Amino acid sequence: MKKKNSFCKRRITIQFLTLFILTTLFSCGNKQEKFCYCMDAGKQLNDYAQKVLQSELNSEKINRLAAYRKTKREACSAFETMGGDELLQLKAACQK
């Protein structure tokens, strides 16, 4: 029982931190910073997914993967309807 409670606290903490970071970023960042954060969130998701696929799955890994997906979805939602040219320009600016 104690182990499950600790896991729940850790999960809530991760979700709170993700929400806090996203709120802070989107409230004071410009479009370029937001897109760069979106790119970073996508990279983190891809890196973790690759790591998970090469190891044994458990509930903690699945929950963490879901948290990465949620972070990426929230960070990138503003850019879903943008055209390719504009996205390429934003991507190029992030890589500078």
pLDDT number for residue 16:
60
Render pLDDT for 36-91 as a digit per residue (tens, 0 to 9). Answer: 999 999 999 999 999 999 998 899 999 999 999 999 999 999 999 999 999 999 99
Q: Give me the DSSP letters along the chain.
A: -HHHHHHHHHHHHHHHHHHHHHHHHHHH--HHHHHHHHHHHHHHHHHHHHHHHTS---HHHHHHHHHHHHHHHHHHGGGTT--HHHHHHHHHHHT-
Instruction: Flag the least confident range among 4-8, 10-14, 32-36, 76-80.
Output: 4-8
pLDDT number for residue 26:
53
Per-residue confidence at 15, pLDDT binned at 50, 70, 90?
Answer: low
Quote the pTM value.
0.67
